[in-house]
Chain A
Amino acid sequence: MDSFVLQKGIVLIEINGVFLLVADQEGRKYCNYIKVINETGAFIWNQLKDHRSLDEIVSNIQDEYEILDSYHIRKDVNAFIQLLKEGNYIA
């Protein structure tokens, strides 16, 4: 089962509907200070934080947003996870 380890020192904050990943002193050793993500990205981030697997994340997005098409969700989640890996947000 695939699982992901998030970088330490990264905080997800929401201000007036804007979602930001903000790095503290420890997190800035590996990641940019601020990264803007969208609401779905924030949902996925929280799923990763709760140690959900890819299958669980896809299933939970289907439930949360009432979407039937799991193929495209899986593709989008993979793309977001790849983005996080490239930014060192996933260790």
Chain B
Amino acid sequence: MARNYYQLVCADLPIAYQFIYQDTIQYFKGYIVESDDIAQINISLTNAYLEDNRWLVNADEKSESFLEFQALMLKTGNSLLSHNRALFHGVALLWNNYAWLITAPSGTGKTTQLRHWKRLLKKDVTIINGDKPALECKDDGTVWVYSSPWRGKEKYGHPNIKAKLGGIIILEQAKYNDMKPLAAEDAVIPLYVEFVSMPETTEQIENQAEILRSVLKSVPVWKLKNLGDEDSAILAINTLKTYYGWNNG
């Protein structure tokens, strides 16, 4: 009988998955580990759960294994909340030893921004995850960013990179480029809605709130109103350099 039980490590946490469809494994390539560590989370889905979450894929999507992959993302996002961790919708970049999150609703230009950064900073920037990085709030108040198997259609990202979060940029399309710090209270809603979760319990809702409080306490947030052009990425990079005093580096 073919194997359908696998373990991966997400945000330094061993998670065991049991798939309904054998070919779901194809989406986890590079993330599966052979480990004797006891899984902290065990995830398996039912066919009813898949049906309830069919909205996660396009109506013309034919692959049931892709639906399972997407539904596993939601279940994983929910499960991580009980471990001071979360899946978050955005692009995660490694630059100057810190992780940077660029977030916005789908179709607002995250991937375009990522490509500009890559073109401008070349080898100085590494993509941690192109779509759904994992966050961990540590006891010392720092927030760490990891990759996850959910990397978007371009599959940007590397399984083994993690970095301390340096800041968050919220993108907004505009007819001009402007980047300003965002007060924590103004960042709550735009960040809350980008958590990859549909909390099932009161505990998960409260945990997600606590994670966002920790993130807002730990790092600054900026709003980048932008045209989606290279100048907007230059503005973002220079703003961060000035904020952190890296202009002379």
Q: Mark B215-233, 1 if CB is under 8 A from A, else 0.
A: 0100000000000000000
Which residues 1-27 in A have Cβ within 8 Å of B in the complex?
Answer: 9, 11, 13-18, 20, 22, 24-25
A54 to B72, CA, bound (A): 45
Interface centre among B189, B205, B212, B216 (most CB of A within 10 A): B205
Cβ–Cβ contact A15 & B213, under 8 A = yes
Interface centre among A11, A14, A28 (most CB of B within 10 A): A11
Residue on A with the closest CB to B199? A24
Whether B202 is near chain A, meaning CB under 8 Å from some CB there, is yes
Interface centre among A16, A17, A36 (most CB of B within 10 A): A16
Residues of B within 8 A of A33 (CB): 198
Cβ–Cβ contact A15 & B188, under 8 A = yes
Residue on B with the closest CB to A18? B188
Cβ–Cβ contact B205 & A22, under 8 A = yes
Interface of B is mostly: helix
A20 to B204, CA, bound (A): 14
Whether B192 is near chain A, meaning CB under 8 Å from some CB there, is yes
Which residues 33-68 in A have Cβ within 8 Å of B in the complex?
Answer: 33-34, 36
Cβ–Cβ contact B200 & A16, under 8 A = no
Residues of B within 8 A of A13 (CB): 205-206, 209
Residues of B within 8 A of A15 (CB): 188, 192, 209, 212-213, 216
A25 to B52, CA, bound (A): 12
Contacts A16-B216, A34-B192: A25 and B198 contacting too (C-beta < 8 A)?
yes
Cβ–Cβ contact A17 & B189, under 8 A = no
Q: 23 A-B residue contacts at CB 8 Å?
A: A9-B202, A11-B202, A11-B205, A11-B206, A13-B209, A14-B209, A15-B212, A16-B184, A16-B187, A16-B188, A16-B213, A16-B216, A18-B185, A18-B189, A20-B192, A22-B199, A22-B205, A24-B199, A24-B200, A24-B201, A24-B202, A28-B198, A36-B189
Beyond the given pairs A15-B209, A24-B205, A25-B199, 5 more chain A to chain B contacts, judged by CB atoms under 8 angstroms and listed by A's residue number, are A11-B205, A14-B209, A16-B184, A25-B198, A33-B198
Residue on A with the closest CB to B187? A16
Q: Which of A14, A18, A25 contacts B200 (CB 8 A)?
A: A25
Whether B121 is near chain A, meaning CB under 8 Å from some CB there, is no
The 7 tightest CB contacts between A and B, nearest first, are A18-B188, A25-B200, A13-B209, A16-B184, A11-B205, A16-B185, A22-B205
Closest Cβ of chain B to A25, distance in Å, is 4
A28 to B74, CA, bound (A): 15
Residues of A within 8 A of B201 (CB): 24-25
A18 to B187, CA, bound (A): 10
Residues of A within 8 A of B204 (CB): 24
Whether B33 is near chain A, meaning CB under 8 Å from some CB there, is no
Whether B193 is near chain A, meaning CB under 8 Å from some CB there, is yes
Closest Cβ of chain A to B135, distance in Å, is 15
